[in-house]
Amino acid sequence: MFAAGLIFVYHFANEDTFFGTRESRDTVWQLTYGGVSAVSFFYLLSGFVLAWSARPGERKGRFWWRRFAKIYPSHLATFLLALAFYLWVGGQLRLPVALANLTLTQAWVPNSREYWFGFNGVSWSLSCEAFFYLCFPFALALVRRLSPRGRWGVVLGGNAFVLLLPPVLGWLDLMPAVKPSYPVYMLPATRLVEFTIGVALALLVKEGHWRGPGLTVSSALALVALLWGVHHLPEPMHYAAATIVPYTLLVAAAGRADSRGTRSVFRQRHLVYLGEASFAFYLVHELVMVTGNEVFRHHPPIATVPNLVAVFSVSLVGAFALHEFVEKPCQRLLTRRRGARPAAPGV
């Protein structure tokens, strides 16, 4: 839920048009300036969890079907809600944009915010995830063949790649025809590196070869990067480079603590359930914001805290509904028909 919550507050600061005073908006904006990097955390965690829970001998087709059953019904449901909203406010349906969204290929289109953020804007990241799932069986097989030293090489080399990509692209001007944010934020091929780091981390932790700080230190480093580091680095580094090292440490530390059964507030039942519903929360929260902007467009500004609580609460209720009435039943139905067990919760 950490990544989904961070993205929520980031979007709230940027997209809520009936915000309170300018001063309160600026304060929230400063605190959430690095929120865009939460996508990077999600990609690392996704690779980690999938590798940790991988089923020995599972056929590629069955794995891909399980992932489809996990994410696509909720994606389709929120696409239809976004389409209804879009038509309600007088928008015109562009079939190519809709098809790119429905096929989860929108992130492969360079220089087009209409494709990236069309309909349910946050679904662009699922375009990257779909590519990761396609690559996962091959990436896992490759990383499994490596020695512990080789897996460390994947982690360190991947971190170096993410750190160096923004400045190298800027210095060499390798992609002058595309916006600087595209290769470091949107392009699935470059974001695959973060996912693969997560795969290597999972195997290192699972087999006892990980050496790194604990959960407290890793969390503190992540907070320093989020609240201080991003303010002192160029914008292209906010997407992942500024936080890749502490996020790597945090994912590994959390995985190791969980595998050891370390007592933590995050193991409480209600927080575990929130984690399971975090994917649904991620999908609905921006729809709640844009709908609220339309409904309250003639309303005076609302104080920041009540506004934030209201938008969060409605998003949470929507997430629970999507999780309980779409995600879980569709996943059970689709995996039962193919004879596959459902995917791990929250993945």
Which tokens sit at 99?
């098809």
pLDDT grade, residue 1 (50/70/90)? Answer: low
- pLDDT tens-digit readout, 50-92: 999 998 889 999 999 999 999 999 999 999 999 999 999 888 8
Report how far residue 169's alpha carbon sits from residue 183's, in angstroms, rounded to the nearest whole number: 9
pLDDT grade, residue 338 (50/70/90)? Answer: low
* b/e code 252-266 from CB counts within 10 Å (16+ = b): bbbbbbeeeeeeeeb
Of 179, 197, 51, nearest to 111 by C-alpha is: 179
Query: H/E element holding 319?
Result: helix 304-322
Report how far residue 207's alpha carbon sits from residue 43's, in angstroms, rounded to the nearest whole number: 21
pLDDT grade, residue 103 (50/70/90)? Answer: very high
At residue 213, the 3 state secondary structure works out as: coil
At residue 331, the 3 state secondary structure works out as: helix
**Residues in CB range of 275: below 8 A, 6 or more apart:** 1, 266, 345, 346
Question: Is pLDDT above 80 for 49?
Answer: yes
For residue 312, the model assigns a pLDDT of 93
Greater model confidence, 33 or 194: 194
Q: CB-side exposure of 81: number of CA atoms within 13 Å? A: 20
Which tokens sit at 20?
């309170």
